[in-house]
Structure 1
Amino acid sequence: MSREIIAEPLTAEAFAPFGDVIEARGAPSFQINGGMCDRFHDLARMEFTGPEARVNISVGFGRPYALPLTLTLLERHPLGSQAFVPMSEEPFLVVVAEDENGAPGRPRAFLTAPGQGVNYLRGVWHGVLTPLGRASNFVIVDRTGEGNNLEEHSFAEPWTVTAA
């Protein structure tokens, strides 16, 4: 089995099994602020379970990675979804994998376009925040509250992620 993953462009259709692409695409849902703002509404399936669960909004400052990337770690959040929305136009790498008996299967990698963020569904294996090019701030929307909401998996043999 090849241990190389070629990153593909991020599209809503390709990413749907893992979560949502957060972007202003198509026609706006409606206007707000006296018609001065087009709102693209309800773009992510946010999920939160467990005692004292609530939405947490943070900003993360991500230091840049370079491709090819040696991928050794994936994580997932069993109690809530997690969204990353860039505060710059810089691309970032999105890595996901389907669950195979409690561990991640073969990863898939996506490269974002300017204006795209992602929401990982609850329990989806995914890579860490991976900005490319330069350091960037990201809005992070996830669950806070009681319970363990982080599982990590280290690959015995790393994967190499490259761009197409």
Structure 2
Amino acid sequence: MPLRPPVFVAPMPLFERLADEAPFDAHERADAVAARALDAQGLRDSIRAELLRLLNTRRGRTRGPATLGEPDVLHYGLPDWSALSAAHAGDRAVLERQVAQAVRAFEPRLAEPRATIEPDPDAPWRLRLRIGGLLRGRDGAQQTASFLVRFDADSHTPGIVDE
């Protein structure tokens, strides 16, 4: 009997289970409802949606030193970057570090996150953000993942695609 490669499966997050569009579908089997899980592409899609929420949320100022060592909902999102300049390498390094820290704190399904900021080859005056890390499934399977964040020129909102 040939060995099958392990199937990459990860649990579906609670809020995605609660957002079921057909919770009372009579044709859905009970074991299918109980065993909701994501395959590798489903996990990527779920993480992409959470990264989009994270990148679109600015956290408020805190009175004391805000550390992401103990994440909580009061520190969800990213700090305001309006005082930083994309033209300065030091400011870009700060941005990369802040994005990686926020992903580590608020999207634990993307292990060992890293963020890099680079010029957009289609428009060198714009920057793009690349977020990468490891996806880990229930069975111990791992896959690398990389997401490319581009900002819409008109609305200045981020859009995320898989690489």
Please identify which structure carries the higher strand content. 1
Q: TM-score under structure 1 normalisation?
A: 0.23
Larger radius of gyration: 2
Q: TM-score under structure 2 normalisation?
A: 0.23
